[in-house]
Structure 1
Amino acid sequence: MSKPRSLVLPPRTRARRLETARGPFVVLDAEPVGGRRGTVLLLPGYTGSKEDFLALLGPLSEAGYRAVAVDGRGQNDTPGPRGRAAYRRKALALDAVAQAAALDDGPVHLVGHSFGGLVARAAAALAPGAFRSLTLLSSGPGRVARPQRIRVRVLRAALAVLPKERVWQAVCWLDSRGEEPDTGDTPELTAFLRRRWMRTRIAQLAGAGRLLLDRQDGTEQLTALPLPLHFAYGADEMVWAPADLSAAADRTGAHRTVIAGAGHSPNVSHPQELTDGLAGFWERVDAPAGVSTAP
């Protein structure tokens, strides 16, 4: 899971409820500095939340973008039903489409981190006109790496038979040895991470895990999307193999940003470098036809 390094809201950022046609979603909404260059909708990953993007909201705002990070249905502060149907791929995709519409800013740039990338892909395929572009952040077609698949299977099995608190303790142990090792969490951050876990619906965790284990490749679907596509990931990514992400970018003709020194969560570890890559991609997307944005 991504772990924010601070819970302080960046300047010009407020936590609020976003009312949509599919119910309310709690978001962090960051207003841009100066004239607005565009609006970005940010979808978090497995066991994550809107706070995973806290470090990214400031740089995006400074770059002139309104950035809105969302708790998905059943994640953290956003309520969700207990039933399995609410967390199927199409249902989550419809949520993202409704969130984009409720922002009332025309087509928005869509960014999905890890599991959020699976939701973003489905949303873009369902309603491409709702989005200006699609960025898969540390996410891609194909299967996740074997260690992560094993972890997800174990987590889903444990949630079915053990108290949530016991599973949380196991998650902490695994994370200290996984893609986001412990870096000396403050008591405030430790309390937040536990609270987030306890607030997230078991059905959401089980449904998200099921989608992560899906064997469907998805490259053809991405190639068929009628909107600009971007893969952004750390050079040390370990949930999806970097070689697989590079190959997917080649096969789909997507723009690509590889962040040196970053692992699975460049949104936490390298927010400025990620912002530079995102903004460079969006500048190309928004450039008038025939105008080059190359340096």
Structure 2
Amino acid sequence: MQAERQSIDRRAIPAGSVESGFALADGHEIRRIDLPAEDGGKRGSILFMPGRGDFYEKYLETLVEWSRAGWHVTAADWRGQAGSGRLGDDAITGHVGDFSDWVDDLAFLWKTWKTETRGPHIVVGHSMGGHLVTRALVDGQIDPDAAILSAPMLGMSGPPLPLGVSHFVAWFMTKIGKPTRPAWKWSEKPGEMPANRSDLLTHDAGRYADELWWRERRPELAMGPGSWGWVERAYASTRQLERRGAMENVEVPVLIISTSADKLVRHPSAVRAAQRFPNGELLAFGDEARHEILREVPPVRGRALAGIAEFLDRVAPPEVS
């Protein structure tokens, strides 16, 4: 991409962008950022939703590149993450009552955002965001012209147990203690990033360091492990996606980007989802890519962005004025 060759400051809010609050249906306010499209803005609009514990600052580089390609770009927090409050008992553990709460939030944001922006309208979800976008598609809550799922959490990494067994174990853990308690250990010192965490996310040391920089400048963004309630609800939501006919009834073109080296989500689940969607496609990576493919080293990241651009040119061409 031409935009890839232009300098982008990954540690600065882009000039011309607008950070604001967005009130959800029940009044809970989440953060959003809007980047105006360059080149006349005739390409359309992209809504980007990040993963568990994520924040949109990590993806500013990609958001800028899309805006330079002529897309109006919006990204937002999930309720209870980043700068949009917490739903548990502390400021670090990620908790949610049910994944359907997030799906409803996405549906409300989507409906409003569509009235504000030009089509075609594209939704992009990374990791847990990819799971929730899939849920919204399956549940008929959003109607994008195309969807892109980056390393989607359609199956969680862990012991090779049947989904029902894993769900039962998580459910049991919510019954023998508070569902809001952390499901795994984060680090020896509260607030300190776990050792070797970058080995799960990206080969690019500079891009990984960007996340730490933003956490230092905006401490409210920091989030640690998920709660046992989050784990149990994640398995419950995954079981809904596994229902016969769930993905098979979604006619929206869907591009799934996944890597077989992912240690956080199950690559085989992503491969199977690309086959289940009637208009699904797969862009697969191997050992060269870790979980955060859009924050990988330039050759990997460039291939992913090129694949996205080619997909969108085919399935969501600009609307004629």
Superposed pair shares fold, TM > 0.5: yes
Q: Hey, what does 1:6 align to over in structure 2?
A: 10
Counterparts of residues 1-295 of structure 1 (less than 5 Å): 6-23=10-27, 24-34=29-39, 35-82=41-88, 87-103=97-113, 104=115, 105=117, 108-141=121-154, 143-146=155-158, 159=182, 166-169=189-192, 171-173=193-195, 175-180=197-202, 183=205, 185=209, 188-189=213-214, 191-192=216-217, 195-197=220-222, 207-214=229-236, 216=239, 218-219=241-242, 220-234=245-259, 236-253=261-278, 254-259=280-285, 261-269=288-296, 270-287=300-317
Q: CA deviation at 1:146?
A: 1.8
Change (3 A) 1:174 1:205: farther
Question: 1:198-233: CA deviations, max 9, x gaps?
Answer: 5x8x8x755543344446272541221132222112
Query: Which structure 1 residue ranges, 4+ long, deviate > 6 Å from structure 2?
Result: 147-150, 160-165
Query: C-alpha distance in 2, partners of 1:222/1:75?
Result: 27
Query: C-alpha distance in 1, partners of 2:269/2:15?
Result: 37
Query: C-alpha distance in 2, partners of 1:161/1:180?
Result: 21
Paired amino acid for 2:128: F
Query: C-alpha distance in 1, partners of 2:160/2:200?
Result: 9
Name which one, 1 or 2, has greater alpha-carbon Rg.
Answer: 2
**Given the two structures, how large is their TM-score scaled by the length of structure 1?**
0.75
Change (3 A) 1:86 1:117: same
8 A Cα contact 1:148 1:239, kept in partner: no
Change (3 A) 1:177 1:59: closer
Query: C-alpha distance in 1, partners of 2:203/2:240?
Result: 29
The runs of 5 or more residues in structure 2 that have no matched partner are 1-8, 174-178
Query: C-alpha distance in 1, partners of 2:152/2:32?
Result: 22
**Given the two structures, how large is their TM-score scaled by the length of structure 2?**
0.70
Question: 1:56-100: CA deviations, max 9, x gaps?
Answer: 111111221111111110111113544899641111001011111
8 A Cα contact 1:29 1:66, kept in partner: yes
Paired amino acid for 1:277: G
